[in-house]
Amino acid sequence: MALTKKAERTERTKAKLLASARKLIGERGFDRVSVEDITRDSGVAKGTFYHYFKCKEDVVAELSFQSSQTILEESVHFDGTADERCFHYVTALCRDADWAGVRLVRQWIREAMESEDEDSEAKACLYDIYNAIVKICAVRQGRGPGELTEDAPLDTLAKLLMSHVFGALTIWCMMNGSWNLSEQSVKYMEIDIKNLFKPYMIGE
* pLDDT, tens digit, 9 for 90 and up, residues 43-87: 999 999 999 999 888 888 888 888 888 998 999 999 999 999 999
- Cα–Cα distance measured from residue 67 to residue 99, given in angstroms and rounded to the nearest whole number: 11
- Residue 185 DSSP SS3: helix
Confidence check: pLDDT of 7 > 70: no
- Residue 201 DSSP SS3: strand
* pTM of the model as a whole: 0.83
CB 85 within 8 A of CB 134: no
Find all residues with CB under 8 Å of 111, minimum gap 6, and list them: 120, 121, 122
